[in-house]
Structure 1
Amino acid sequence: MDITDQVALVTGANRGIGRRFVDELLARGARKVYATARRTDSAEARELAALDRVEVLSLDITDHASVVAAARTATDVTLLINNAGISTATPLVTGDLDVIRREMDTHFWGTLDMIREFAPTLAAAGGGAVVNVLSALSWFSFPGNGAYAAAKAAEWNMTNGVRLDLAAQGTLVQGVHLGAADTDIMAGYDGPMIDPAVVPRASFDGLAAGAIEVVVDEWSSMVKASLAHDPAALYAQIAPAA
């Protein structure tokens, strides 16, 4: 897929990686970008609304009615970018179950709902593409982040499943994996972080090559490679007591 003249919808577009997706879409000549956010009255949303070729839409991906309304409005979408996410730093055994369910509602059910509602629109446009922003934590877990990791793992295999489901209508489904990016969601993290602008660049270069999976950084590459080996070696590095 060449981004030029595409009509894209980006979830969680008001800041972080989502905002970088909007910027990269415009830089690559997208005809129109639907930039979605739960709050369209925020300063970030107003800033987006002032951009040429950008239309701001209210969207909460955990609310089915909100997803349906967005799909009924954005009927010309050819590229769906599922970026919206949360990170609650909740452990699975001792954490609040309602919070753990919110992680799954966002990353798995909300993203799946978006794909289901926009699939007919993409089919009508000749297939188009779906990009799901995933994580290195799709492939491992880390102490205190079990809820996020479980939700991302579910989203990863959901991405693989919908890719098969949508192949017949010609829709390319891409998963994008990264470690830590320098965004608000990683506030307080003191490890190495990538520039979030790298993520959409890698994704769109991958779309141009027809790549169904993009691994953005060295950390994600290392974790993916570790899956072929005894997991004890990886967990000895990140959680010695495991």
Structure 2
Amino acid sequence: MTEIEGAVALVTGGQRGLGRSFVEELLRRGARKVYATARKPVASADPRVEPLELEVTDPDSIAAVADRAGEVSIVVNNAGVLYPAPLLQTEMAHVVATFETNVFGPLRIARAFAPILAANGGGALVDIHSVLSWSAGVGSYGASKAALWSITNSLRIELAPQGTQVVGVHLGFADTDMVRAFPGEKLDPADVARAVFDAVAAGESEVLVDEFSRRVKAALSGPVEGLSIRTAN
């Protein structure tokens, strides 16, 4: 388990959508400081929030943030992009951009902050996946989240010797700008944030935020034809 009260955290994509809710929940639980990153950060009225410019596809940008945030003990890999077109129709540039942001970006963050977490007692690395890690139907986004899930599972093993808790988070669609155009009910981002940090505080390795995610994960033992966003609903 990882102590949140008094901790210093970093949330990528921390100034909008789910990221903003993660920042707010960390502060509600007593975090001493939260670095909230964005491509174009804006100032916060809360002195406990320090905005930082970060582009997760740029190794130099990540290195600069790691140099600035050396006291961090909780890292939340939240930043992501979504191009919802089918794989055979979307531009290959969008597929590449999706993997650069959603897969290689979090891995770069993990590599940069692993020694920092070790120096600060182990801490926690939280990777935000999706129910689409397991369910086909949303093009390169789902494929990228599946790749990140695999990476997270490997990082859990690699970071265990230094005492770092690695948490993978799966959820359906939260009520954010990224997925507002998708039909169906949306999760309250505040509820997602509470579930995530309940798990961090309890020492858990995986969070299935909603019943939809639990149902889709259970379907992994069945025929692959069942692993579709259309058949899982």
Interval of TM-score (by shorter of Structure 1 and Structure 2) = over 0.9
Query: After superposition, where does 1:34-113 map in structure 2 within 5 Å?
Result: 34-40=35-41, 45-46=42-43, 49-113=44-108
Q: Quick one: structure 1 residues 148 and 8, their matched pair in 2 at CA, closer, same or farther if it must change by over 3 Å?
A: same
Alpha-carbon distance in structure 2 between the residues aligned to 1:68 and 1:234: 38
Instruction: Confirm whether residue 206 of structure 1 aligns to residue 199 of structure 2.
Output: yes
Note the aligned Cα RMSD (angstroms).
1.3
The residue aligned with 2:141 is: 148
1:238, distance to aligned residue in structure 2 (A)? 3.1
Alpha-carbon distance in structure 2 between the residues aligned to 1:196 and 1:234: 25
The residue aligned with 2:209 is: 216
1:92, distance to aligned residue in structure 2 (A)? 1.4
Alpha-carbon distance in structure 2 between the residues aligned to 1:106 and 1:236: 22
Q: Quick one: structure 1 residues 68 and 124, their matched pair in 2 at CA, closer, same or farther if it must change by over 3 Å?
A: same
Native 8 Å contact 1:90 1:99 kept in 2 = no
Q: Which letter maps to 1:74?
A: A
Native 8 Å contact 2:17 2:176 kept in 1 = yes
Query: After superposition, where does 1:110-149 map in structure 2 within 5 Å?
Result: 110-142=105-137, 145-149=138-142
Partner deviation per Cα, 1:69-92 (whole Å, 9 max, x = no partner): 000000000000010011111321
Residue 167 of structure 1 is aligned with which of 160, 172, 176? Answer: 160
Alpha-carbon distance in structure 2 between the residues aligned to 1:50 and 1:216: 30
Alpha-carbon distance in structure 1 between the residues aligned to 2:18 and 2:187: 11
Native 8 Å contact 2:121 2:163 kept in 1 = yes
The residue aligned with 1:12 is: 13
Native 8 Å contact 2:66 2:113 kept in 1 = yes
1:236, distance to aligned residue in structure 2 (A)? 9.4
Alpha-carbon distance in structure 2 between the residues aligned to 1:235 and 1:62: 29
State the TM-score, normalizing by the size of structure 2.
Answer: 0.96
Alpha-carbon distance in structure 2 between the residues aligned to 1:112 and 1:34: 18
The residue aligned with 1:226 is: 219
Q: Percent identity?
A: 49
Q: Which runs of 4+ in 1 moved over 6 A?
A: none
Alpha-carbon distance in structure 1 between the residues aligned to 2:193 and 2:106: 18
Alpha-carbon distance in structure 1 between the residues aligned to 2:145 and 2:178: 15
1:140, distance to aligned residue in structure 2 (A)? 1.3
The residue aligned with 1:23 is: 24
Q: Which letter maps to 2:50?
A: E
1:200, distance to aligned residue in structure 2 (A)? 1.4
1:237, distance to aligned residue in structure 2 (A)? 4.7
Native 8 Å contact 1:10 1:82 kept in 2 = yes
Partner deviation per Cα, 1:38-74 (whole Å, 9 max, x = no partner): 002xxxx23xx22121111000101111000000000
1:232, distance to aligned residue in structure 2 (A)? 2.3
Alpha-carbon distance in structure 2 between the residues aligned to 1:79 and 1:186: 26
Native 8 Å contact 1:11 1:84 kept in 2 = yes
Q: Which letter maps to 1:32?
A: K
Partner deviation per Cα, 1:175-203 (whole Å, 9 max, x = no partner): 01000111000121221111011111111
Structure 1, unaligned runs of 5 or more:
none
Native 8 Å contact 1:90 1:148 kept in 2 = no
1:233, distance to aligned residue in structure 2 (A)? 3.7
Please state whether the residue corresponding to 2:207 is helix, strand or coil. strand
Alpha-carbon distance in structure 1 between the residues aligned to 2:171 and 2:228: 19
Worse-superposed segment, 227-236 or 123-132: 227-236
